A and B are shown apart, each in its own frame.
Chain A
Amino acid sequence: MKKAFLLGAPVLAGALFFKAIAQNPPTPEQIQILKEMGVSPADVVVEEGRELFHNLKGTTGKTCASCHGQDGKNLKGAYAKMPRYYNDIKRVADLDTRVKECLERYVGVEAGGEKGRKHVVPLATYVATLSNGMTINVELKHPEEKRLYEYGKQLWYTRAGAREFSCAMCHEVLADQRIRLQRLVAPTRDKVYSYWPVYRISVDKVWTMEERIAACFDSYFLFDPQKGKFDLDKNWVKRPPYYSDEIIALALYLKKASNGATIQVPGIIR
C-alpha cells in the first residue's frame, strides 16, 4: 500500500510553473502538452526524489535533509548557479556529479555508474525543482570554472569521429533544420537549459543533461584508433562515462549560455 501523497508542494510547483511560462516561454510542444495535462510523469520522479532526500540513509546514518534542511530549504537557488567549483571534491561539478559525490561521501551510498542513476536522477530532479522560478546565473569566478568553460567551448566546436560531427555542426550551424523529421534544437541560442532535467516522451524516462550529452556521442561513430578504423560491430566507442570532465565541461558551457533564463523544471519534450 503506497502512502498518500500530499498535494501542497506539487500544486505549488504546478502553479509556479504556469506562472513561469508567462515569463519565459518554453518550446511550443511543451506548452501544448502541459496546458492539456498539467502534470507529467516527471512529477512522479520529483516526488521520488523528495522521498529519497528525506529518507535515504547509507553507512553514515545521515540523510540529505540532515544537512540541507527539511524540504531542501538550504538548497533553494543552488541549481541556478551550477555547475560550479566545490572545495570538498576539488572539481567543478554539475548537478548530477554533485548529487553523486554527496551520496557517496556524506550519505554513504554507492551512486556511481549506471546503477547509481536510480538514486541520482530522482534526487537531481528534485534539487533542480528547488530553484524553480529563479534565473540561471552561472558565474565563472574560480580559475577551474574558467578553464573548464573554455574546455567546454572547445569541445562544442571539435569535429571528431567517422561522421565528423561536432556539437556546433548540428546545434548551431544546422539549428532548425531537420534530421529526418526531427527539428534540430539550438541549446545556446534558445537557452534550453531552463527546462532541463526533462521528461522524454520518446523513451518514457526523465533525463538529466548528462544523459543528453552522453547520448549525443553515440551518433558520433567514434572509434578507438588503436584498433584501426571505425566498425559498426567491432570498433565503435560510444558515450563518455557519467560525471566525466567532458560532460561537465559541455554542461557548463550550455548552462552559461542559458544565463538569464527562468528555471522551470521538469520540462517535457519529445
Chain B
Amino acid sequence: MSDIGRAVVRVPKEVKKGEVATIRLVIIHPMETGLRKDPKTGQTIPAHYINRVEFYFNDKLFSRINNTPGISQNPYFAINFKPTESGTLKIVYEDNKGGKWEQSVQITVA
C-alpha cells in the first residue's frame, strides 16, 4: 500500500481554553512481531514495529508511548490533551529498525 511511516493526524485545529482535545494518529506500518513465520519459506519474519511515539507541544514533550509489538498493522494511536496556549503540536514516531518520522500541526487556543 502506501510507504511505511506515512501517517494522518486528526486533531481539532481550534480548541477552546480549558477544553480537552483528542489527537488521533494512524500510521502505515507492517508491525511485524518477530514471531511470525513466512508460510512459504518457513523463515521467521524479523520484528519491525513502531516502538515509540512522542508528543511535543511547543517543543516540550508532554506524552510518550513506548509500546511492544502487540499492536496490529497500520496502528491507530489516540491520546487526549488540554493545550493552554496556541502553538505547534509535533508528533515524532520511531520503529525498532531506526525509522523515524515526524508530523506537525498548528493548534490555536481561543
The answer on direct contact between A and B (beta carbons under 8 Å) is: yes
Q: How far is the CB of B40 from chain A (nearest CB, A)?
A: 15
The A116-150 residues at the B interface (CB cut-off 8 A) are 121-122
CB pair B8 A4 closer than 8 Å: no
Q: Does B76 contact A (CB under 8 A)?
A: yes
CB pair A5 B76 closer than 8 Å: no
The B1-39 residues at the A interface (CB cut-off 8 A) are 1-3, 5-13, 22, 24-28
CB pair B76 A37 closer than 8 Å: yes
* Interface of A (DSSP majority class): helix
Provide the residues of chain B in CB contact with A11, threshold 8 Å. Answer: 10, 12-13
- In which size bucket is the chain A interface? 20 to 34
CB pair B13 A7 closer than 8 Å: yes
Q: Does B105 contact A (CB under 8 A)?
A: yes
Q: Does B80 contact A (CB under 8 A)?
A: no
Q: Given A2-B102, A43-B26, is A48 in contact with B2 using a C-beta cutoff of 8 Å?
A: yes
Please report the total number of B residues contacting A with Cβ < 8 Å.
28
Q: Which residue of A lies closest to B76 (CB)?
A: A37
Q: How far is the CB of A210 from chain B (nearest CB, A)?
A: 15
Q: Does B104 contact A (CB under 8 A)?
A: yes
What separation, in Å, do the CA atoms of A11 and B10 have in the docked complex? Answer: 7
Provide the residues of chain B in CB contact with A122, threshold 8 Å. Answer: 2
Q: Does B101 contact A (CB under 8 A)?
A: yes
Q: Does A88 contact B (CB under 8 A)?
A: no
Provide the residues of chain B in CB contact with A44, threshold 8 Å. Answer: 2, 6-8, 26-28, 74
Q: How far is the CB of B16 from chain A (nearest CB, A)?
A: 16
Provide the residues of chain B in CB contact with A2, threshold 8 Å. Answer: 5-7, 101-103
Q: How far is the CB of B38 from chain A (nearest CB, A)?
A: 16
The A24-41 residues at the B interface (CB cut-off 8 A) are 37-41
Q: Does B86 contact A (CB under 8 A)?
A: no
What separation, in Å, do the CA atoms of A87 and B2 have in the docked complex? Answer: 32
Which of B8, B76, B105 interacts with A47 by CB under 8 Å?
B8
CB pair A204 B74 closer than 8 Å: yes
Q: Given A5-B8, A11-B13, A204-B74, is A45 in contact with B26 using a C-beta cutoff of 8 Å?
A: no
What separation, in Å, do the CA atoms of A126 and B22 have in the docked complex? Answer: 25
Q: Does A240 contact B (CB under 8 A)?
A: no
CB pair B11 A7 closer than 8 Å: yes
Q: Which residue of B lies closest to A122 (CB)?
A: B2
CB pair A39 B73 closer than 8 Å: no
| Proximity bits, A1-34, B CB within 8 Å = 1, else 0 | 1101101101100100000000000000000000
Q: Does A206 contact B (CB under 8 A)?
A: yes
What separation, in Å, do the CA atoms of A10 and B72 have in the docked complex? Answer: 23
Q: Does A178 contact B (CB under 8 A)?
A: no
Q: Given A1-B101, A4-B104, is A38 in contact with B10 using a C-beta cutoff of 8 Å?
A: yes
Provide the residues of chain A in CB contact with B5, threshold 8 Å. Answer: 2
CB pair A37 B74 closer than 8 Å: no
What separation, in Å, do the CA atoms of A165 and B31 have in the docked complex? Answer: 37
CB pair A204 B73 closer than 8 Å: yes
Provide the residues of chain B in CB contact with A5, threshold 8 Å. Answer: 7-9, 103, 105
> Can you list 21 A-B contacts with CB-CB less than 8 angstroms, sorted by A residue number?
A2-B5, A2-B101, A2-B103, A4-B103, A5-B9, A5-B105, A7-B9, A8-B13, A10-B10, A37-B24, A37-B76, A39-B24, A39-B26, A41-B74, A43-B8, A43-B26, A44-B28, A44-B74, A47-B8, A204-B1, A205-B1
Inter-chain pairs besides A2-B5, A2-B7, A38-B24, 10 sampled, C-beta below 8 Å: A1-B101, A11-B10, A37-B24, A37-B78, A40-B76, A41-B74, A41-B76, A43-B10, A43-B26, A204-B72
